[in-house]
Every structure is written in structure tokens, then in C-alpha cells.
């Protein structure tokens, strides 16, 4: 079936008890050894790092991105599986997807329970990811978890501790994995892949600010003063805030800061409905609406746009282009 390279980065799937809690400790060889291999699949390992995913930095994520490209430079590789902590998996997977130009699949997986537990989900998830990487093409970056298959774009962690941890709240399920078979339910639409960015000496700062009752521009302005080159504003409803925040957004954009507008609501698109500080005014002030992308992935989209160009107008164009793609086509199950 195929030669699959596993890139190990840590997370719960590599975690052991540390006396007061669990933390990533196992290396990639130990992680791979927990799972049976699908028939006909051979595995090679890249032991990249082993950290809890809340500790990941942009530098970690860009290292992972470059490693994926280096692995796929070998035409004999049939696919990649990335084992990753679930807390920021949606961010890393989306970053890789935005720069993924290859027909071969890159499949992210992890676990909700630490390795070695009697009811651990890591071995099954890893088996499913290997099966998916060996049997799918042309779908971009995928997430295999709890017998379900998700497109990287739009998929977020929806359960803090339950095993079925990931979903795209705004779209139908992408596919299912079971009984040694991968069944696709739809085909994701993706924008043209971005060029692989250079490794910056200091990655651009991108902050997130959430609106709420009594929300004011203090944190947004503080992010700008701290050197943020990008900001994700997490609005209420369909992407709304206040007139004072609109003015702060306008000032930030005038200073060359790339501002994206998402919402704290679980599902549905950012939509220009309301004025008096709503999405109508925020977009007019220069904020770029993110559609159905939520905060973590909106931040990755802003980061990718900042890495793509040094020119403010081009960065905005890239961000809009990245955000414009995101539909899907249903296929027969």
C-alpha cells in the first residue's frame, strides 16, 4: 500500500505521568511502536521534537512545515502522518495545508488519552492515520481522529477531553475510517498553495483579542504597541464589536497592521449585517472577514500572509485570497 513517513512532535499521544500530571516525553519510535501497521504499509520516522502542543511556537510550526516539504521531496514517499498534541493541532495542520502543493496526503493525528493507558485512543488513531495517508490523494492536509476524517481547513477541537475531539462546526463530515477502509463523503476545496516561506529570524507577532460586554480597545491597542503585525479580532455574533473598537481597528490598519475579523460563535460565517460597531463598520475600517474560520486558524491565515510578503497591500491580498476558498463539494458516500 505505501511507504509512509511519521513525523513525531509530541502531545498526549507521547505523554507519560510526571508525578503531578502528564507531559510529552516519549520519542517517535515509542509512539509508532504502540500501533499496528495497516497491511502493506511500511513506516519511516522523523523524530522532530516532543513537547506539549500548548508550548509550540511559530518557530516549531515553521520547522514542521519545512520538514514536511523536505520529506515530500523524496518521490518514493507515499504519504506523511504527523503525530501532534490536540491543543494546537488545528493550527499546525492549517499552516501546512496552506503551503501544501502535493497530491500526497499529510494526515495529522494524536490522542486524548496518554500512551500506555488501557483505554488509550492513540494506537487506533495512528493506525487510521497511516491507512488514510496510504489510501488518499489530492485532498490536502487531513485530520484523522476517532474514526472520522476531517479537512484541515475549518476543523477545530470541539471537545476538551472526549475521544471524538474534532469537527468543523460549519460543514459536513469529510469522511469516515473503519474496517480497514477510508470512505470519503465530500471533497474539500482549497486555494492555490502558498510558496514555502523563509525562516524568519524573529517571526511576526500575531495576537488575538476577544470582544465581550464592556469590551473596549485597550487590549487591541496594547497588542499594536507590543509590536503585533497582525491581529485577530474575535467579535460577537456575526462579527460585531463597538464604534470605539472600529476606530482602533482603523488606526491599526493605518499603521500597517493586518487585522482579521472572526467570531466567538461556534458555527456560521462572519457576515456584514450590523453597523454602530458591527461587521459593516469593522470591514469598512479595514478588517478582513474570515468566513467560517475561527480564531486559531484565522491567526494562522494572518501569519501566512505576513510571511508571504513585506508589502502591506500584498499581505492583505494574500489574506483575502486564502480566506476566499473554503467551500466543498458533496460526493457519494
Catalytically annotated residues: 12
User: Do 246 and 277 form a contact (C-beta atoms < 8 A)?
Assistant: yes
- Residue 87 CA to residue 322 CA, distance in Å, equals 23
- Residue 56 CA to residue 219 CA, distance in Å, equals 23
User: Do 223 and 201 form a contact (C-beta atoms < 8 A)?
Assistant: no
Give which of 98, 109, 125, 159 is closest to 34, Cα–Cα.
125
User: Do 328 and 291 form a contact (C-beta atoms < 8 A)?
Assistant: no
- Residue 64 CA to residue 59 CA, distance in Å, equals 9
For residues 92-110, one letter each, b for 16 or more C-beta atoms within 10 angstroms of the residue's C-beta and e for the rest, the string is bbbbbbbbbebebbbbbbb
Give which of 257, 326, 258 is closest to 293, Cα–Cα.
326
Give which of 242, 230, 291, 295 is closest to 264, Cα–Cα.
295
User: Do 288 and 312 form a contact (C-beta atoms < 8 A)?
Assistant: no
Looking up cell 503551503, which residue turns up? 99
Strand (E) positions, 152-268?
Answer: 156-157, 166-167, 175-178, 181-184, 186-188, 206-210, 230-235, 258-263
Amino acid at each position: 500500500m505505501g511507504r509512509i513517513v511519521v513525523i513525531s512532535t509530541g502531545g498526549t499521544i507521547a505523554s507519560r505521568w510526571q508525578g503531578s500530571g502528564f507531559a510529552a516525553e516519549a520519542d517517535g519510535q515509542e509512539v509508532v511502536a504502540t500501533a499496528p501497521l495497516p497491511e502493506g504499509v511500511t513506516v519511516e520516522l522523523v523524530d522532530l521534537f516532543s513537547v506539549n502542543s500548548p508550548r509550540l511556537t511559530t518557530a516549531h510550526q515553521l520547522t514542521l512545515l519545512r520538514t514536511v516539504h523536505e520529506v515530500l521531496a523524496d518521490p518514493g514517499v507515499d504519504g506523511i502522518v504527523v503525530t501532534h498534541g490536540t491543543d494546537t493541532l488545528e493550527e499546525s495542520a492549517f499552516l501546512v495545508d496552506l503551503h501544501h502543493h502535493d497530491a500526497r496526503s499529510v494526515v495529522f493525528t494524536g490522542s486524548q488519552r496518554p500512551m500506555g493507558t488501557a483505554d488509550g485512543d492513540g494506537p487506533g488513531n495512528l493506525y487510521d492515520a497511516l491507512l488514510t495517508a496510504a489510501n488518499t490523494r489530492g485532498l490536502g492536509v487531513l485530520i484523522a481522529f476517532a474514526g472520522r476524517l476531517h479537512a484541515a481547513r475549518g476543523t477545530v477541537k470541539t471537545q476538551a477531553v472526549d475521544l471524538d475531539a474534532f469537527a468543523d462546526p460549519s460543514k459536513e463530515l469529510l469522511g469516515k475510517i473503519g474496517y480497514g477502509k477510508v470512505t470519503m463523503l465530500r471533497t474539500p476545496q482549497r486555494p492555490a498553495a502558498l510558496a514555502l516561506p523563509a525562516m524568519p529570524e524573529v517571526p511576526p507577532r500575531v495576537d488575538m483579542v476577544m470582544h465581550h460586554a464592556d469590551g473596549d480597545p485597550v487590549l487591541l491597542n496594547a497588542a499594536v504597541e507590543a509590536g503585533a503585525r497582525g491581529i485577530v479580532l474575535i467579535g460577537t455574533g456575526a462579527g460585531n464589536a463597538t464604534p470605539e473598537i472600529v476606530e482602533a481597528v482603523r488606526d491599526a490598519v493605518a499603521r500597517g497592521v493586518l487585522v482579521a475579523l472572526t467570531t466567538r460563535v461556534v458555527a456560521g460565517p462572519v457576515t456584514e449585517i450590523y453597523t454602530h460597531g458591527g461587521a459593516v463598520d469593522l470591514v469598512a475600517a479595514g478588517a478582513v472577514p474570515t468566513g467560517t474560520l475561527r480564531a486559531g486558524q484565522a491567526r494562522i491565515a494572518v501569519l501566512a500572509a505576513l510571511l508571504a510578503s513585506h508589502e502591506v497591500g500584498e499581505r492583505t491580498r494574500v489574506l483575502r485570497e486564502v480566506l476566499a476558498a473554503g467551500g466543498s463539494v458533496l460526493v457519494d458516500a
